Amino acid sequence: MSTAFLIHFGVTNGHVKLAKFGLYHMTAHGDDVDFPIGYPSYLAPEVIAQGIFKMTDHVPNEKPLPSGPKSDVWSLGIILFELCVGRKLFQSLDISERLKFLLTLDCVDDTIIVLAEEHGCLDIVKELPENVIDLLKKCLTFHPSKRPTPDELMQDKVFSEVSPLYTPFTKSASLFSSSLRCADLTLPEDISQLCQDINSDYLAERSIEEVYYLWCLAGGDLEKELVNKEIIRSKPPICTLPNFLFEDGESFGQGRDRSSLLDDTTVTLSLCQLRNMSNIYERHLERLKDVGGEAFYPLLEDDQSNVPHSNSNNELSAAATLPLIIRERDTEYQLHRVVLFDRLLKAYPYKKNQIWKEARVDIPPLMRGLTWAALLGVEGAIHAKYDSIDKDTPIPTDRQIEVDIPRCHQYDELLSSPEGHAKFRRVLKAWVVSHPDLVYWQALAYACMSAFIPKYLYNFFLKDNSHVIQASLPIVNLRRIR
């Protein structure tokens, strides 16, 4: 995680690695929410000393830097200490006292001894092996500059027996990378193991994005699920008014909105609508429970079957002739199309011609972005190229972009959000900066835009495109006459 610069920032007992490690990243290092990220007892001292950043209190250039992986090392040290002594720390202190105590550890010589004396477990700590004590001291080093990184911590002698079994993290090549994506793939010694039907729950083998997409098509409503679990609670408007209001706008007695507070409750979304099929969505879903395993592994070399290229039944073949809006709402049809396009894209560029062929039929909304990138021949280090473009220095086009973006994409809540506007602004500015002789056009990602316009709209977006339009008008009129 630290290699990918993913900071957990919420490491607690039970949330070590796989649970909720994306919250710090999703909230822009805590800037997008009104509550602090993390749990007081497990926060590193430098995080506590930094405090909560508020835009009203600082000018933009004074914004504190994000925390690094060493903050998680401190949290890990607290967890290891709790496991060694068999009790949770700071349970008798309120939050403010916990934070003050953690900051005072800067003045002590041995953090481990002070923690043990504070919690009455000094005898237990003295009986711990020396290598475990050394590990705890490394994790609970007060100054982050002297604290080891996760990679350095793995070199500790306490992990000597585990380290040979540890597989270093290697970032796999992206779909459109110019390097060989299968270079590091290895087959198991016993290939027959791949053919064993150990798990017949094929839906569980699909990606979380695919399952969530199908779940929504099956009638799943995330907001409704949160309301049922009382995560989202409605409140009468009159109950949101303050009890007392000063002339300068300061108010008192106004309860804090629960949506602005951290709630780490985990809600499990039921897949019953996909597995057992409710009566409400029977028209779309009743057949899904009878879909065999072969539907999840379509044969790409089989040219005998009609569209879509899978072992589809007659009803599925008939669905391919229905209007697009109906096909995009048919769960079984979308299941087959999503699985098919996923396999075709994984075989890109070898299966580029078949991607073209299937795209003429339809493209599943979930796979539309990657499919268009494949059709346009996007390749290479696209993320590095995009990151290398200066999107911050002011240019004359900035004012026009600021005016255009809020007027577009109001039909979608995400696209019309401040974050959506910021993303669009960066894409358009990257296009203008990298193509100074052209004007911008909204609708595509940068890499797709760079491939689409030269191929289909060459010279159409020149600052003076009158001669291009004049040359195109006779062709348009001729097509109308025909």
Q: Please check whether residues 398 and 309 belong to one and the same domain.
A: no
Alpha-carbon span 220 to 217, nearest angstrom: 7
CA distances from 73 to 43, 83, 89, 391 (A): 10, 15, 17, 34
Provide the H-helix boundaries in 391-434: 398-404, 418-434
Q: Is residue 197 part of a domain?
A: no
Place of tokens 């079984």: 332
Q: Please check whether residues 210 and 304 belong to one and the same domain.
A: yes
Q: Please check whether residues 59 and 130 belong to one and the same domain.
A: yes
Could you say which of 375, 402, 424 is where a domain stops? 375
Terminal CA-to-CA distance of the chain, rounded, Å?
Answer: 60
C-alpha dihedral sign at 420, 422, 428, 430:
negative
The pTM assigned to this predicted structure is 0.71
Q: Which helix (H) or strand (E) holds 209?
A: helix 208-217
Could you say which of 356, 375, 394 is where a domain stops? 375
Residue 409 confidence (pLDDT):
72
Q: Is residue 178 part of a domain?
A: no
Q: Which residues contact 65 (CB under 8 A, 6 or more apart)?
A: none
The total of structural domains in the chain comes to 3
Neighbours of 37 (CB within 10 A): 23
Pairing mode of beta strands 244-245, 251-252: antiparallel
Q: Which residues contact 261 (CB under 8 A, 6 or more apart)?
A: 34, 35
Task: Please say whether the beta carbons of 184 and 167 come within 8 A.
Answer: no
Q: Please check whether residues 404 and 334 belong to one and the same domain.
A: no
Sequential pLDDT tens for the chain (482 residues): 555 555 655 566 655 556 677 788 888 788 878 788 888 899 999 988 887 665 554 445 566 677 888 998 999 999 999 999 998 999 888 988 999 999 999 888 889 999 999 899 999 999 999 989 999 999 999 999 999 998 888 888 888 777 666 666 677 777 777 777 777 777 767 666 666 655 667 777 888 899 899 988 888 888 888 888 888 777 777 777 888 888 887 877 776 666 667 777 888 887 776 665 433 334 444 545 666 677 787 877 765 544 444 444 566 677 778 888 889 988 888 988 999 999 999 888 888 999 999 999 999 999 999 999 999 888 888 888 888 999 889 988 888 888 888 877 777 788 788 888 888 889 889 988 888 887 776 655 667 777 777 877 777 777 777 777 777 666 545 444 45
Q: Please check whether residues 335 and 430 belong to one and the same domain.
A: no
Alpha-carbon span 24 to 67, nearest angstrom: 10
Among 447, 448, 453, which Cα is nearest to 381's?
A: 447
Q: Is residue 386 part of a domain?
A: yes
Q: What are phi and psi of 107, to 5 degrees?
A: -95, 5
Q: Is residue 192 part of a domain?
A: no
CA distances from 243 to 3, 233, 258, 260 (A): 50, 21, 18, 20
Could you say which of 347, 375, 403 is where a domain stops? 375
Please compute, for residue 480, the number of CA atoms within 13 A of its CA located in the half-sphere on the CB side.
6
SS3 of residue 244 by DSSP: strand
Alpha-carbon span 80 to 14, nearest angstrom: 12
Q: Please check whether residues 158 and 117 belong to one and the same domain.
A: yes
Q: Please check whether residues 323 and 211 belong to one and the same domain.
A: yes
Q: Is residue 257 part of a domain?
A: no
Provide the H-helix boundaries in 409-465: 418-434, 446-456
> For the chain, what is the radius of gyration of the CA atoms?
28
- Pair of tokens at residue 302: 């089989």
Please compute, for residue 135, the number of CA atoms within 13 A of its CA located in the half-sphere on the CB side.
22
Q: What share of the chain is helix, strand, coil (3-state, %, to 5)?
A: 50, 0, 50
Q: What are phi and psi of 252, to 5 degrees?
A: -135, 155
Residue 67 structural domain: 23-165
Among 307, 303, 376, which Cα is nearest to 341's?
A: 307
Q: Please check whether residues 432 and 308 belong to one and the same domain.
A: no
Q: Please check whether residues 331 and 397 belong to one and the same domain.
A: no
Q: Is residue 16 part of a domain?
A: no
Q: Please check whether residues 341 and 476 belong to one and the same domain.
A: no
Q: Using a CB cutoff of 8 Å and minimum separation of 24, what contacts does 21-28 make? A: 24/67
Q: Is residue 151 part of a domain?
A: yes
- Pair of tokens at residue 164: 């040979």
CA distances from 111 to 73, 77, 78 (A): 15, 11, 11
Neighbours of 428 (CB within 10 A): 23
Residue 2 confidence (pLDDT):
56
Q: Please check whether residues 427 and 361 belong to one and the same domain.
A: no
Q: Is residue 56 part of a domain?
A: yes
Alpha-carbon span 394 to 375, nearest angstrom: 34
Alpha-carbon span 112 to 141, nearest angstrom: 10
Amino acid at the residue 4:
A
Among 13, 58, 71, 4, which Cα is nearest to 31's?
A: 58
Provide the H-helix boundaries in 243-391: 272-275, 282-285, 314-319, 324-327, 331-346, 352-361, 368-375, 382-387
Q: Please check whether residues 39 and 141 belong to one and the same domain.
A: yes
